[in-house]
Amino acid sequence: MTSHPIPSLEVSGLAYAYPDGTQALFGVDLSIGRGERVALLGPNGAGKTTLVMHLNGILTAGHGSVHVAGLAVRADTMKEIRRRVGLVFQDPDDQLFMPTVREDVAFGPANLGMRGAELDRRVRDALERVGMLDAIDRPPHHLSFGQRRRVAVATVLAMEPEILVLDEPSSNLDPAARRELAEILKNLDVTVLMVTHDLPYALELCERSLILSGGVIAADGPTPALLSDRDLLAAHRLELPYGFAVPAV
């Protein structure tokens, strides 16, 4: 929790229908304070991706508003919004396209006009934070999937975002890589919104969770409390792994 007066993310009354008429969001309200780590849970088709795409203006609101550290997401603020919202896609290969790790991580800050020693410091610092500095001169396609996901996180950290938004960060990771990424994410000093179907990962990393279901926020509260509520989970098609025990709240 934070006492900072301006939340990292504020979504008010966000409603959205796709051009074919499918209404994906029906009026979403949420606020995430600076430094919070929040999980966004919900069944397939709940609207999670649609919501995330509004956070950096890939989609723009039919109704309602999105503010990132007080700045409204609008056509004329898009450049600054894209710097403030660090989106990490599910597939790192959607994010890594340069010949070396260094160039991939430098790409964003270089686009902002950063050069020389300052750019080098940004790149090294971001790679250090995800434990990938040793790979700085390697081609991304020579790295393991887990390493590529960490480099993808570094590409957005290099922008020094206000909020890091991760789409399914634990997907396709082996248990060791999953654990390593959890340690990295826990130690980042940044606001995090993490979309996940991996409820134990949400429990481990996020003190607070939101359940998006049918295009509305159906629950918002401490992760252990939400995950202990069997009726709530069942109502929104969420399931803990067999035998997984949520610590008592």
Which class for 195: exposed (0-12), middle (13-18), buried (19 or more C-beta within 10 A)? Answer: buried
Give start and end residues of each alpha helix (H) in the chain: 48-55, 78-84, 101-111, 116-129, 145-157, 175-187, 199-205, 223-228, 230-235
Give whichever of 18 and 97 is closer to ligand ATP, judged by the CB atom.
18
Q: What's the min distance (Å) between Cβ of 49 and ligand ATP?
A: 3
Structure tokens at 161: 């975002």
Q: Rule CB under 6 A: is residue 42 a binding residue for ligand ATP?
A: yes
Q: Rule CB under 6 A: is residue 46 a binding residue for ligand ATP?
A: yes
Q: Which stretch binds ligand ATP (CB under 6 A): 45-53, 63-71, 91-99, 153-161?
A: 45-53
Q: What's the min distance (Å) between Cβ of 249 and ligand ATP?
A: 26
Q: Judge whether 31 and 20 are in contact, CB under 8 Å.
A: no
Structure tokens at 46: 């709940």
Q: What's the min distance (Å) between Cβ of 16 and ligand ATP?
A: 9
Q: Judge whether 37 and 223 are in contact, CB under 8 Å.
A: no
Q: Which stretch binds ligand ATP (CB under 6 A): 4-12, 18-26, 116-124, 132-140?
A: 18-26
Binder of ligand ATP out of 8, 30, 39, 47 (CB under 6 A): 47
Q: Which stretch binds ligand ATP (CB under 6 A): 48-56, 69-77, 107-115, 203-211?
A: 48-56
Total residues binding ligand ATP (CB under 6 A): 12
Q: Smallest Cα–Cα separation from 181: which of 212, 149, 214?
A: 149
Give whichever of 42 and 161 is closer to ligand ATP, judged by the CB atom.
42
For 76-82, the CB contacts below 8 A with 24+ separation are 81/56, 81/57, 82/56, 82/57
Give whichever of 104 and 198 is closer to ligand ATP, judged by the CB atom.
198
Q: Rule CB under 6 A: is residue 49 a binding residue for ligand ATP?
A: yes
Q: Rule CB under 6 A: is residue 24 a binding residue for ligand ATP?
A: yes
Give whichever of 49 and 65 is closer to ligand ATP, judged by the CB atom.
49
Q: Rule CB under 6 A: is residue 45 a binding residue for ligand ATP?
A: yes
Kindly give the pairing relationship between strand 9-17 and strand 23-32.
antiparallel
Task: Give the type of residue at 97.
Answer: F
Residues near ligand ATP (CB under 6 A) are: 18, 20, 22, 24, 42, 44-50
